[in-house]
Amino acid sequence: MPEALLQVTDLNYVYADGTEALRGVHLNIARGEKVGLIGPNGSGKSTLLMCLGGLFAGHGMVRLNGAEMNPTRIPEQRGSVGLVFQSPDDQLFMPTLADDLAFGPINLGLTDEQVRDRVALVAEQMGLTPLLDRPPHHLSLGQQRSAAIAAVLAMHPALLLLDEPSSNLDPRARRQLIGVLEPMATAMLIAAHDLALIGRLCGRVLLIDEGRIVADGPTAEIMGDKDLMEQHGLESWREQE
């Protein structure tokens, strides 16, 4: 059995208006494992990512590398989990792409040389080197998506959380995104309505509905179960698609 990188036990989250967004969520993710997170709109996908990324304070137990994640330990755990938002506009805000890629490493307290090395490495990895001097808002949406991922990868996270990474991408940009994510050894939790992308990248999928994980298993088995998928407002998917 692979070693668990992330362990979540009985995680709950209630919004200020009383809405129960997460109800008793349990899940484990192994090192290097790519896991898909699917469910209808309002099922709790984004809320779960926000809790795991430390932006929302849920109630329950979340452990990364065996250490409990909680607000008192955020400084020492900063950079261990990287969250890529659905919209790059929520993440890219510096004058140039190079500045955005350097922002995280700088806030980790790295030296100038270490920051430069990390920026150069992720820019090359994501095919962004020729664009480093350009303002992020001058990039295409596909380039912005790659830049948002690169900005998180520059912090060397143990776990990468992606919220609808293929949203609004044209077919070529989507293929490029898959080509970037597929060979990565970083553990990932990918929340998406794009079932074909989940099928391509993830060997395992979690189905969440009304704040609960209702199914957890091999991707083709879960997403190919017509009755299960339709019961939770989704269409079934076949691996050949």
What confidence tens digit (pLDDT) does each residue in 163-212 have?
999 988 888 888 888 988 999 899 999 999 999 999 999 999 999 999 99
* Rounded average pLDDT over 19-47: 96
Domains of the chain: 1-77+187-241 (3.40.50.300)
Q: Which of 76, 107, 77 is nearest to 94 (CA)?
A: 107
Residue 241 in this model has a pLDDT that exceeds 80: no
**Pairwise pLDDT comparison (11 vs 70), residue with the higher score:** 11
Q: Record the pTM.
A: 0.90
**Residue pair 2/33 in contact by the 8 Å Cβ criterion:** yes
**Complete DSSP assignment for 71-138:** GGGHHHHTTSEEEE-SSGGGT--SSSHHHHHHHHHHHTT--HHHHHHHHHHHHHHTT-GGGTTS-GGG
**Pairwise pLDDT comparison (95 vs 87), residue with the higher score:** 95
φ and ψ at 127, to 5 degrees?
Answer: 70, 35
In this prediction, residue 66 has a pLDDT band, given cuts at 50, 70 and 90, of: confident
In this prediction, residue 155 has a pLDDT band, given cuts at 50, 70 and 90, of: very high
**Residue pair 159/80 in contact by the 8 Å Cβ criterion:** yes
**Complete DSSP assignment for 163-180:** ESTTTT--HHHHHHHHHH
The Cα–Cα gap between 22 and 209 comes to: 9
* Rounded average pLDDT over 143-148: 91
Give the chain's mean pLDDT.
91
pLDDT digits (tens, 9 = 90+) for 100-144: 999 999 999 999 999 999 999 999 988 899 999 999 999 998 899
The Cα–Cα gap between 38 and 168 comes to: 18
Span of 18-22, 31-35, 63-67 with lowest mean pLDDT: 63-67
Give the CA-trace dihedral at 75, 128, 173, 219, to 10 degrees: -40
User: Quick one: 227 exposed, middle or buried, by C-beta within 10 A (0-12, 13-18, 19+)?
Assistant: exposed
